[in-house]
Amino acid sequence: MKYDVEKALYHYDNIQMMLDGIPEELWSVFLPEEEDDLPDLEFNIIYFRRRANEREQVMALQTLCDLPLRPNQPLREARQKARLEGLRKGRVFDERFNRSDDNSEQSGV
């Protein structure tokens, strides 16, 4: 590396967090050769962290609704399937315990 790493990383918090706990002797493996490439690395870290968070949300929805695990499924699609699964299970619950008849009698309809 041809630049002062400590000085160059001052403005890149995500890169600093990535390097936290890694010995300084290994930083050259993870950091780019040129200082001009640091913004790209910062962007990639932010993008992949956001994508990992979305993937965790998708897997949580799929686990909660007993759907097959497909972690790379778009979050919007996973939410739609979870909502449909919730409506289906709610309808089965209502049919099993006759909730729809009880509610109509109580409301006076």
Q: What is the pLDDT of residues 27-85, one digit of tens each?
A: 989 999 999 999 999 999 999 999 999 999 999 999 988 899 999 999 999 999 999 98
CA distances from 85 to 68, 69, 75, 92, 95 (A): 12, 14, 15, 11, 15
Entry pTM: 0.68
DSSP letter at 35 equals G
CA distances from 45 to 40, 41, 49, 83 (A): 9, 6, 6, 31
Between 102 and 12, the higher pLDDT residue: 12
* C-alpha torsion angle, residues 100, 103, 107, 109 (rounded to 10): 20
